[in-house]
Structure 1
Amino acid sequence: MPDARNPEWQVIRTSHASALIDSQAAALADLRPTPWVVMAPERTLCWNGQEYRFGPGLEGDGADPAEIVAAARSIATAGAGNEWWDGIAPVRLHPDAADVASSPSLASLRGKAIDCRMCDLCGPATRTVSGEGNPEARIIFVGEQPGDQEDLQGRPFVGPAGQLFDRALKEAGGNRAQAWITNAVKHFKFVPRGNRRIHQKPDAAEITACSPWLATERKVLAPKVTVMLGVTGASAVLGRQVTVSRERSRPIPLADGSIGLVTVHPSYLLRLPDEESKTREYTKFVTDLRMAISALAG
């Protein structure tokens, strides 16, 4: 086995680390015991001849190959405290609940989520859709799961329901750039129907499997207000069955001392059958969001 302190590194570049790891696992295994590094924008995965280790994404425009290899060697051979070290001990390719809970930052959490295999939804979905927004946010919005557009773009709340949410939040006096937006479940659950992918509600087991991601997001963010958009988001945060019509529009004390507020998911507004109902319910939705924003100043 080559000396990990002075290896001949093989550099593999890809636009998405997890896609290469999953599809080329056999090829990567064939590279052993030769040390290698997979370069990707979101993070770096190294095999130093003995173990896997993750580090931050290193590949950039005009990056010097020698510098990339030197940084990769630093990740793979150094211990905790090294400037490139991600705080993760020798890792599995697919994180478990303990790996998730140990994440020290939102960036670390996002990097681990790329390779999530904690339920079967990862198979049909295009990618994990992590939360996004202001890492200093004092308010977090929790929806159900990514939809079709979210799955394709890799961002939460960018489809029709997300656009409606943005409009309502602005009317309520909020600003998406100052909030954190996420979902209870991080993969899109659907059934194919012709050329379309039809949304399916995640079941209790899938919500439970995904719960470490949401719990750790909230732990790292420590928001003052958590807005639960719909029954799945509310059940995931509160840890119990929820009837939105009974619990919406009022502050709910949460176990960590912060404030929770339940309201409808914006997709509900899109499904209403007539304009009168849509206008009435949209106004109530904006009122709920305004209440949540006001709670920040309380």
Structure 2
Amino acid sequence: MQPINATLCSPSDFMGWRSLSRDFLNRQVEANTIHWSIQEPDILYTPQSERILPNASSPLKIPRFFGRLMSAVFASSLPDRFDRLYRALEHIQTHGEPSTKDLQDFKQVAAEVRTQILALRNTFPENRILDWQIIRTDYPPQLIDSQIGPLGRLRTAPWILLSDARTLCWDGQDYRIGPALTDTPLSDADLVSHAQQTATATRANAHWHGLGTVHVTPTDHDTCQVQSLPALRSLAVDCSFCDLCHHATRTVFGEGSQEARLLFVGEQPGDQEDLQGRPFVGPAGQLFDRALQEAGGDRHEAWISNAVKHFKFVRKGNRRIHQKPGSAEVHACAPWVAAERRILSPKVTVMLGVTGASALLGRPVTVSRERSRLFTLEDGSIGLVTVHPSYLLRLPDDDAKTREYIKFVADLRMAISALA
């Protein structure tokens, strides 16, 4: 059989590789006749472009777990990864299942890629830092591009990612892709401007469709092993412990000081939290900030989190209406809060509302009966139950709101005094 040249538009061209591979498999083209190469077209970084690829249907049923391994191998630095992946498909076509050797090899490569992805995510600052952030990395472009979606969910505030092969710009809404910067201006402001001019390819450029996102699906075991809050946040991006992950925009992880001795645990993110990727930034969060300040506290010195990390809602027209999380969702999310408490080892934990209190105490809680008193938690630290600030917003009249707000501030003051 005559040699076949299979040309991809970039090292990240998963869609191109998949389309060509399906076509080759349908035509029963042998792996040893295919020469895989990369040739960047002139229109690779234009804002818009079309692309014609073979439209062959998939001749194979690939096990889902093996498909995930293949995505990770594609994002790896293996020089022969295109060929090895095609040979794996060829084996499935002949034998009906992946080979034992492919399984072993791909699992090892996927583990290495997973470690690299988490390390890349760890370099991204929290969303409370609102100005443009510049992240430099030396990871290969295919690994970087496999994380474009997750990185946008991880950090909603704007960022620029620079590598030897790629420039990525995220403006808080969407991303643009460009080649590596050849000139590096001295000031950060000039660098951001230069990067924005360089990264010109948008989602409308078909050469950047289907990049083969690699998800790092966490397990309970992972949450028990992580030793830092940034690493835990990086892992939580792909949380799928319950079905809420399929509807919410992103995981909303805790934020604050990594040296915090005071931990606040609420119920779940709301609409604004889900959009901004930060806990307690909506109307209830603004009321909480004001009350905490009046009590003598500082949000930046505490750690603010929720018992459930995804927004549960129902749609009503264009609005997303908050829904109380169920016990199954609270239980599924428990490893995240447990890991936050293990890493922080706070002296005082304030439970805001029924869900936050029940999640931490592991039993039904009546807030009106248990609020406004300090008690000892199982680990020997101090706990305090109070209302959730959203409760204050729902009160029917101004007098009731004033009375309850004063009590809420007093509860927060009690928790802060317990730190001494």
The bucket for the TM-score relative to the shorter chain is 0.7 to 0.9
Q: Calculate the TM-score normalised by the size of structure 2.
A: 0.55
Contact 1:34/1:49 (8 A) holds in 2: no
TM-score by length of 1: 0.76
Letter in 1 for 2:139: I
Task: Write the distance in 2 (CA, Å) between the matches of 1:233 and 1:62.
Answer: 35
Question: CA 1:30–1:134 in structure 2 vs 1: closer, same or farther (change >3 Å)?
Answer: closer
Structure number with larger C-alpha Rg: 2
Specify which of 385, 389, 402 is matched with residue 279 of structure 1.
Answer: 402
The answer on 1:35 being equivalent to 2:76 is yes
SS in 2 for 1:267: helix
Per-residue deviation, residues 98-157 of structure 1 (Å, max 9, x unmatched): 111111110110011000000000011000000000000000000000000000000000
Distance 2:278 2:255 in 1: 7
C-alpha RMSD over aligned residues: 2.9
1:257 aligns with 2:380: yes
Q: Secondary structure at the match of 1:187?
A: coil
Partner of 1:69: 140
Give the conservation status (yes or no) of the 8 Å contact 1:32–1:49: no
Distance (Å, rounded) in 2 between the aligned partners of 1:102 and 1:223: 18
1:6-53 C-alpha deviation (Å, 9 max, x unpaired): xxx9358xxxxxxxxxxxx9799478567359xxxxxxxxx8983232
Amino acid at match of 1:50: V
- Residues 1:189 and 1:274: Cα distance change in structure 2 (over 3 Å): same
Report the residue type matching 2:227 in the other structure: P
Q: Distance in 1 between matches of 2:277 and 2:413?
A: 28
Q: Which residue of 2 aligns with 1:50?
A: 109
| Alignment partner, residue 122 of structure 1 | 245
Cα distance change on mapping 1:259 and 1:63 into 2, 3 Å: closer
CA deviation vs aligned residue, 1:244-297 (integer Å, no higher than 9, x gap)? 000000012101110000000000000000000000000000000000000000
> 1:86 is matched with which residue?
none
CA contact (8 A) 1:132 1:156 kept: yes
Q: Tell me which amino acid in the other structure corresponds to 1:164.
A: L
User: Which whole-Å CA distance do the structure 2 matches of 1:102 and 1:244 have between them?
Assistant: 33
Q: Which runs of 5+ in 1 are unaligned?
A: 1-8, 13-24, 38-46, 73-90
Count how many residue pairs are aligned between Structure 1 and Structure 2.
248
User: For residue 147 of structure 2, what is the aligned residue in structure 1?
Assistant: none
For 2:392 and 2:108, how far apart are their aligned partners in 1? Answer: 54
| Secondary structure, counterpart of 1:93 in structure 2 | coil
Query: Residues 57-109 of structure 1, C-alpha deviation per residue, up to 9 Å, x if partnerless?
Result: 26984847xx3339x7xxxxxxxxxxxxxxxxxx9831111111111110110
TM-superposed CA distance for 1:239, in Å, is 0.8
Q: Is the CA contact 1:11–1:36 (under 8 Å) kept in the aligned structure 2?
A: no
**Partner SS for 1:198:** strand
Q: Greater share of helix residues, 1 or 2?
A: 2
- State which of 343, 351, 362 in structure 2 corresponds to 1:228: 351
**Mapped pair 1:185 → 2:308:** yes
Moved over 4 A (4+): 25-28, 30-34, 58-64
